[in-house]
Chain A
Amino acid sequence: MNIIHQIPTILMIIAPILITAIGGMFTERSGVVNIALEGLMGLGACTTACCYTLMEGAGYGRYSLVIALLFGAFIGCLFSVIHATAAIDLKADQTISGTGINLLADGLTIFIAQILFHSDRTREYKLGMLPDKLGLYPTVYISLMVVIIGWYVLFKTPFGMHLRACGEHPAAADSVGINVRKMRYAGVLISGALAGLSGGCIVLTQTIQYTSGTIGGRGFIALAAVSFGRWTPLGVTGAAILFGGMQAMGVIATSFPFLSHIQSEYFNILPYAVTLIALILTSGRDYAPQANGIPYEKGAS
């Protein structure tokens, strides 16, 4: 009975992981690994927190929620351009540029908070997103929309097919006139925007300000969900629900008598351990997009 009451909380925690994971699926399907998701989420979260607390202070009302989220998505998208340029145009090591963005995001977000609010966190806002009559937060609907649109775009439109082709066999895609560079840019930018958006969702539902611990590894959980979900919308959604659910259990376990003696750390470990075990079990069989993480050189056979 009690667990029914906790469903909105669980969904609230799942939603941002799901949004980021769908973005991660897009970028990896196009052939670029983006381990900067964590940092991009942080940048989006910080932007949303700053925008919202400033606009709320200026008295712009509830519309500022939407504007703040859009700003977060925009900044996430903007910073993913760095990764896209490095990975696609300059054929850089994608792990290095992703790590660089993660490090940069750590510094930049708190730096901005220091400049704007003279503190190592953004100013707390008063009223975040509110649940609807069912008790569900709007972010849950956003994540649902992202999944459905993501599935439709990736598997039911020419754009999606082209994008997937670039991740499987870029040379073949190129030979039939698909612009590999453009498609991969699209994949990375989509992942950046969605990561920024989901960062904003975290700030507006789960906390009241941005601090250096707001994201706390969720970007990496999303990354794990992409590979655990075998790069398909359904799989990724399932993985995100599983991992997000485990995270949620860590938060809500205290309200169940039979779980309360289990420390939340056990639940926190689970997503990572499960992914690791899954990677070992599925080793040898490759579900990943064939050209994932390999820069495409035009003209090279």
Chain B
Amino acid sequence: MQNENNDSFVDRILESEVMTSILVVILGFLCGTLIIIAVGKNPSDMFGSIFDSMIGIPKRKGGWNYRYIGETLAYSMPFILCGLSMGLPARVGLFNIGAEGQYIMGMTAAQSVALWMSPFGGQWILCLLVAVLAGAIWGGIVGVLKAKYNVSEVVATIMMNYIALYGSRLICFTQPGATTYNTAALPQTVLLDKFLIKTSNFNIGVFFVLIAVLSYWFVMNKTRLGYMMRATGYNKNTAKCCGISTIKSITTSMAMAGAFAGLAGALVLLGGAFPIGRIITGMDNYGFMGIAVSLVGNNTAIGNLLAGLLFGVLKQSQSLMQGRNIPKEITYIIQGLIVIFISLRSGLVLYKQYRNKKKLKKEVLANK
């Protein structure tokens, strides 16, 4: 009896994608904790930082300080968007490592609008639009290459990331007030207004994130385009035979992915703590983390949202960890481990096959 209960529990985990995601995250944290213990630090400091980032801390004079929550939410926004950027092509059967490059192009485009145009009211809207467009073009290029020339999207997006990185530097060096690391200050008209928690960087960009998540869900599940994309993802040849233009669905999916990532870049630039134009020296890693976000979220809209929040919590807890003498890189380790465990998830399928075989054997023997 005991054994049977146990079996059904394991089965339930194997069957449910949500459960495996949760299991993978728990495993990641467990390994992170073990590493912290192994180097002689106190894991409760790590978890303390994480909880503070989730619920805030009490003020000294009484009351509750919500600032950390605001920062967590602000950090989550680019993660969620980059997760969508990875998730949408994944539904079409593509692996978009290029969110990083699309993010950079979005950021650069927004910065160009902000610095090269004379300030006017509502300029931030134009910034966001241009960023979305720039990201979409950057992603769309790869889509066209994949659809028309059958260029591996993995290699192509990696190349595009670095072209974006150095291209962005070339563009930003020509902008007003460019030094080695930054350009002139951004005008007030492009900065995103703070929202709800005014002491933090949480800003009105959150509405655009929510719109992005909703449109992802809507396009994927409720439109003809989404149906075409999913059909292409399930089986490209079958989709083609059914008269679906795979070229269109591949290109559109990559362009939409780029649009999400481009928006993320603009939000980070315009909603950040320092209202100053950036000349990036390396990757911000939001795009690469987006891969992890999407994998944890199983490419669903709601899953992406939750996974993005988790990664936002980890990002915000970094500064708190440093203050408590825990190297903040442990969060990167946990995130890396989560991705590795997810890749091992395919092993679960093998395990499931093995279990089914064993069960069958048992039944055959019992019937004899």
> Footprint of B on A, CB under 8 Å?
33, 35, 82, 85-86, 89-93, 95-97, 99-108, 110-111, 114-115, 212-213, 216-217, 220, 223-224, 227, 263, 265-266, 268-269, 272-273, 275-276, 279-280, 283-284
Interface contacts (Cβ under 8 Å), in number, total: 158
Given known A-B contacts A86-B343, A103-B288, A263-B173, A268 and B336 have beta carbons under 8 A apart: no
- Chain A, interface SS category: helix
Any A CB within 8 A of the CB of B221:
no
How far is A99 from B90 in the complex, measured between Cα atoms in Å?
Answer: 15
Given known A-B contacts A103-B292, A114-B329, A212-B282, A283 and B149 have beta carbons under 8 A apart: yes
Looking across the interface, which residue of chain A has its beta carbon closest to that of B346?
A92
Quick check: B152 and A279 within 8 Å, CB to CB? yes
- Size band of the interface chain B makes with A: 35 or more
Any A CB within 8 A of the CB of B327:
yes
Quick check: B339 and A103 within 8 Å, CB to CB? yes
- Nearest 3 Cβ contacts at the A-B interface: A107-B332, A104-B336, A100-B339
How far is A92 from B327 in the complex, measured between Cα atoms in Å?
Answer: 31
Quick check: A96 and B339 within 8 Å, CB to CB? yes
- Interface residues in B292-310 by Cβ distance below 8 A to A read 292, 295
Any A CB within 8 A of the CB of B285:
yes
Looking across the interface, which residue of chain A has its beta carbon closest to that of B173?
A263
For B334-362 the 0/1 string (1 means CB < 8 A from A) is 11111111111111001000000000000
What would 18 more interface pairs be, CB under 8 Å, given A82-B340, A103-B339, A105-B336?
Answer: A90-B346, A92-B345, A93-B95, A95-B154, A97-B339, A99-B291, A100-B338, A102-B288, A103-B332, A108-B329, A111-B329, A111-B333, A114-B329, A212-B282, A220-B162, A276-B156, A279-B145, A284-B149
Any A CB within 8 A of the CB of B331:
yes
For B227-267 the 0/1 string (1 means CB < 8 A from A) is 00000000000000000000000000000000000000000
User: Chain A residues near B288 (CB, 8 Å)?
Assistant: 99, 102-103
Nearest CB on B from A295, distance (A): 9
Any A CB within 8 A of the CB of B281:
yes
Looking across the interface, which residue of chain A has its beta carbon closest to that of B86?
A99
Q: Could you pull out 9 A-B pairs where Cβ atoms are within 8 angstroms? A: A35-B97, A89-B347, A93-B343, A96-B291, A104-B332, A212-B282, A227-B155, A269-B162, A284-B149
How far is A97 from B347 in the complex, measured between Cα atoms in Å?
Answer: 12
User: Chain B residues near A102 (CB, 8 Å)?
Assistant: 288, 336
Quick check: A220 and B158 within 8 Å, CB to CB? yes
Quick check: B163 and A276 within 8 Å, CB to CB? yes
How far is A280 from B152 in the complex, measured between Cα atoms in Å?
Answer: 10
User: Chain A residues near B289 (CB, 8 Å)?
Assistant: 103
Nearest CB on B from A193, distance (A): 20
User: Chain B residues near A107 (CB, 8 Å)?
Assistant: 329-336
Quick check: B151 and A283 within 8 Å, CB to CB? yes
Any A CB within 8 A of the CB of B169:
yes
Any A CB within 8 A of the CB of B39:
yes
Looking across the interface, which residue of chain A has its beta carbon closest to that of B95?
A95
Best-buried of A96, A224, A265, A268 by chain B (most CB within 10 Å): A96
User: Chain B residues near A265 (CB, 8 Å)?
Assistant: 166-167, 169-170
How far is A220 from B334 in the complex, measured between Cα atoms in Å?
Answer: 23
User: Chain A residues near B169 (CB, 8 Å)?
Assistant: 265
Any A CB within 8 A of the CB of B273:
no
How far is A116 from B341 in the complex, measured between Cα atoms in Å?
Answer: 27
Any A CB within 8 A of the CB of B159:
yes
How far is A105 from B336 in the complex, measured between Cα atoms in Å?
Answer: 8
User: Chain A residues near B6 (CB, 8 Å)?
Assistant: none
* Contact among B159, B338, B350 with A272 in the assembled complex (CB-CB below 8 Å): B159
Nearest CB on A from B303, distance (A): 16
Nearest CB on B from A20, distance (A): 14
Any A CB within 8 A of the CB of B150:
yes
Nearest CB on B from A212, distance (A): 7
User: Chain B residues near A89 (CB, 8 Å)?
Assistant: 347
Quick check: A269 and B163 within 8 Å, CB to CB? yes
Nearest CB on B from A82, distance (A): 6
Nearest CB on A from B40, distance (A): 9
User: Chain B residues near A269 (CB, 8 Å)?
Assistant: 162-163, 166-167
User: Chain B residues near A283 (CB, 8 Å)?
Assistant: 149-151
Best-buried of B97, B155, B163 by chain A (most CB within 10 Å): B155
Quick check: B166 and A96 within 8 Å, CB to CB? no
User: Chain A residues near B341 (CB, 8 Å)?
Assistant: 100
Nearest CB on A from B179, distance (A): 15
User: Chain A residues near B39 (CB, 8 Å)?
Assistant: 115
Looking across the interface, which residue of chain A has its beta carbon closest to that of B330?
A111
Nearest CB on B from A262, distance (A): 11
Quick check: B337 and A104 within 8 Å, CB to CB? yes
Quick check: B282 and A93 within 8 Å, CB to CB? no
User: Chain B residues near A96 (CB, 8 Å)?
Assistant: 291, 295, 339, 342-343
Quick check: B333 and A91 within 8 Å, CB to CB? no
Any A CB within 8 A of the CB of B160:
yes
How far is A138 from B338 in the complex, measured between Cα atoms in Å?
Answer: 39
Nearest CB on A from B78, distance (A): 16
Given known A-B contacts A103-B288, A103-B289, A104-B337, A266 and B160 have beta carbons under 8 A apart: no
Quick check: A101 and B149 within 8 Å, CB to CB? no
Given known A-B contacts A100-B336, A101-B340, A103-B292, A213 and B282 have beta carbons under 8 A apart: yes
